[in-house]
Amino acid sequence: MANKFLYGRLEHLGIFLDGGLAVPEDRGIRFCDIIHYKTMENETVRDDESRRVFNLDKEWFTIEINGKVIDSKSMSDNPGVTLAVPRCYCLCLSHKKDDADMFERFRADVCIEVDTDFLVRFLTEVLSKRFPFRVLHGDIFYYPKVMTSAPPVEEALIFYKDEELYSIEAEYRIALVLPEKVYLLAGEEKIEVLKGDEPSYMQIGHKERSFWSDVFKRYTKLSDLVKAPPAQG
């Protein structure tokens, strides 16, 4: 698969660039709790991803209550359904490279190319054999305001976002899904994972310096983008 792109701030991501020689041992690639996105300061990309609300086209779906089919003409609006999204850790990337709208949308000053093949393979073949999580990855499906197809269920919900608000992002997502009842050990301390109302995050790093150059490839600073000269009239 083609590489994807991470938009962010140099103050946070700069240590991973140019071979990652400056990455300290306590830093790594950050995967955010999916409930984190509803707390983001940036209102443009803020999204309550703990749930998805789908409006179903009343002419395409049949609603039956106590054996009686409800006539669609008697409905004042399309019925809605709210589904809970499984709690997980996410890394959100984009198909768009050096895109001016993405720089602005994410208040970013750097766009980093990520070798997603290498990263997914590392997560799947190395980490998931040592920790109890599964690796899901793929493009986000952007659903319309009114749906004529059945809404997704369970883990597929992780990869659904509102078309009108978010399709501009052309997102590719890597999700780490853990069993519902699990904790990790740090020495003798038990760490509960993806519990409670406060968002958490997971960092994944590596002591081998070559790891960083395998994950993070070329990058473009916003300040280095050459703007096209104005058209001559």
CA angle 40, 137, 185 (to 5 degrees): 75
Where residue 182 falls among pLDDT bands split at 50, 70, 90? low
* Sign of the CA dihedral with 136 first, then 39, 83, and 160 last: negative
Task: Tell me which residue of 135, 146, 167 sits closest to 75, measured CA to CA.
Answer: 146
pLDDT at 228 over 60: no
pLDDT tens digits, 4-55: 999 999 999 999 999 998 898 889 999 999 999 999 999 999 999 999 999 9
> Which three-class secondary structure state does DSSP give residue 4?
strand
Q: What is the pTM of this model?
A: 0.89
- Residue with token string 């997971």: 202
The whole-number average pLDDT for the span 56-63 is 88
Contact 183, 193 (CB under 8 A): yes
- Both tokens of 62, joined, read 């049949």
- Which residue(s) pair with 53 in the sheet? 82
Give per-residue pLDDT as tens, 62-73. 888 888 888 788
